Chains A and B, each alone.
Chain A
């Protein structure tokens, strides 16, 4: 009986951390979906996340204003998105290389700024977990949704950034499928010549999509540094940005597919952390490998490859293609 209880607690713990850890993956991968749908493979997400993580953290560290920190992270993400668009859209650079350049720049600059401003690992009070208590609605009761057994423990008591990440899934789907701009993004990624003929500015739309992707990547970084972990460390994303790019492939370029992938990865990540905590008979070095191995396996799965935007990685120049 007692053993069953611990097992339940562990499963609940894994599911809870799975949802929590999905946050940065969701922001980054949904942002990357916009970028890739428009035809730009942005491999610099990792660098953008690091810049967002640092900028967000430092702003909160100085001003103690969480929303200002989030804004700053989004802004720096937008600036990096602008750089990426300039290089990849206007200067038509090979996107596999330009993204790696942006990653190296973001990694170097965030580490440099960290060393010259903070110097050591500091902590901040990040976004707190929402307990959904009735008392906050003015009702005289001690009851909180987070106390509901099982469901409450898994789904409630997350921070607002986590709920925001999940809310972004239907919002992104709506933008792609129901808005004029979403249609433009899809058309410049699928058939830029046709879009151009119909009067859609291909490059402008790609700029907008890549910059939106940058903003979301910046927020993804901030979700680590001012919500999940509440610290900043050099290279703290540790490959998450690249996994986010892979998630877009895995999710067949749809927000819902990205959601499934993000949850799968974050759960494996959570599992991996618990393997270490529980001292299971699996070396921690092997456990740490799991998400990366899973990424390769996920990329090798052949389903829905046809959904790939036809003009992905192809710069557009009028009258040439």
Chain B
């Protein structure tokens, strides 16, 4: 009898873990129907997408390049959600972070050693993103302003600030001289470029290409990603390290525990003597810091200058939410999900070129993923309920009980 119960519990757990994958599958099926209505064979289109994202060294490298900001943003979203705050403002936090990092790079790039300016740039970018998000946190904690709406408005404001600065004080002097006035900053000095994987490989003396060494097939492409010249930069490693740090922070520190406690039950937390207001502000500030860091990494690792704000944030603020949800708001779960969505963005681009399917299809599929994830969550909860209604264990090591995929957000309740 006990044996039976154990088995059914295991089955439940597997079902619950499979739910997000089912959600993605369903989203792709609906996307396929949309494609089919457009007169495109969905199987051919999806194959094009997968091969485009994961089939070559350049595709793989671009996938990881896009996974980098997604991972950082997704980690931030997870901290905020776990703390009971819904941060829809990562787009704006990326922009303000990127702006300050660029500013710092332009000011200090010539005077200090490159590595030092990179570190200062990452820190100031994070700080700026955190401050920007803190506005929404303070408004929520003290004036009960819905943080979803305030962060969306802050996104729009950040974009306008960026345009204002890039058309005025921060514009590339060369643009002024040429009279073209395209709103972008000057390029940062090359000493500030975060090293690419290929640079490190060369430092280590790995210079032979896959073809030279006779490594063929997918392994050859993988080798190529690590050694041959691609756009892949060390920002990716940085993001992975951050994921591990965020995991330790949330599940192995007192502050992380408090943030999660407030997210799960603000009332009980208050009785337990936790300062709810301070933790709400803290969780969204940390969330904004990670998004600001994503902005800094995009500038230092990829673009090397600030330009069109919407092209720098590139929808990562929203796609990062999807990555966080699919990663079950678990820092380590967000690593594979951000690579998956990075791949979808890259593959969607390839699909557009090969099959004339507009890339915005990916946007629609991402929306569907969200809708299906939050819907299938319902069935996971039902499964959970069928088991004994045990107390929610905060120290579950982050495996995530299904009902804290999206924790009860204090939402509209007064937080005072």
Contacts and interface: CB of A to CB of B under 8 A. Distances in A.
A8 interface: no
Contacts of A239: 152-153, 156
16 contacts: A100-B88, A105-B370, A105-B371, A108-B363, A112-B358, A112-B364, A116-B38, A246-B146, A283-B168, A285-B163, A288-B160, A289-B157, A292-B156, A296-B145, A299-B149, A299-B150
Interface string A275-292: 000000001011011001
Interface stretch (A88-96, A138-146, A158-166, A170-178): A88-96
B346 interface: no
Contact of A115 (B88, B358, B371): B358
Interface string A58-98: 00000000000000000000000001001100111110111
A312 B143 CA distance: 18
Q: A-side binding surface: helix, strand, loop or mixed?
A: helix
A104 B157 contact: no
A285 B146 CA distance: 25
B33 to A, nearest CB: 12
Contact of B367 (A105, A293, A295): A105
Contacts of A107: 360, 363-364, 367
Interface of A: 41, 43, 47, 83, 86-87, 90-94, 96-98, 100-109, 111-112, 115-116, 234, 239, 242-243, 245-246, 249, 283, 285-286, 288-289, 292-293, 295-296, 299-300, 302, 305, 308, 312-313
B375 A93 contact: yes
B360 A115 contact: yes
Contacts of B321: 97, 100
B358 A116 contact: yes
B341 to A, nearest CB: 12
A96 B411 contact: yes
A102 B375 CA distance: 12
B367 A101 contact: yes
Given A91-B374, A96-B411, A292-B156, A108 B143 contact: no
B237 to A, nearest CB: 29
Nearest to A95: B411
Interface string B360-401: 111111111111011101100100000000000000000000
A100 B318 contact: yes
B366 A108 contact: yes
Contact of A108 (B150, B362, B374): B362
Given A91-B378, A98-B370, A289-B157, 9 more contacts: A83-B371, A94-B406, A97-B406, A101-B369, A112-B358, A115-B360, A242-B149, A246-B146, A286-B164
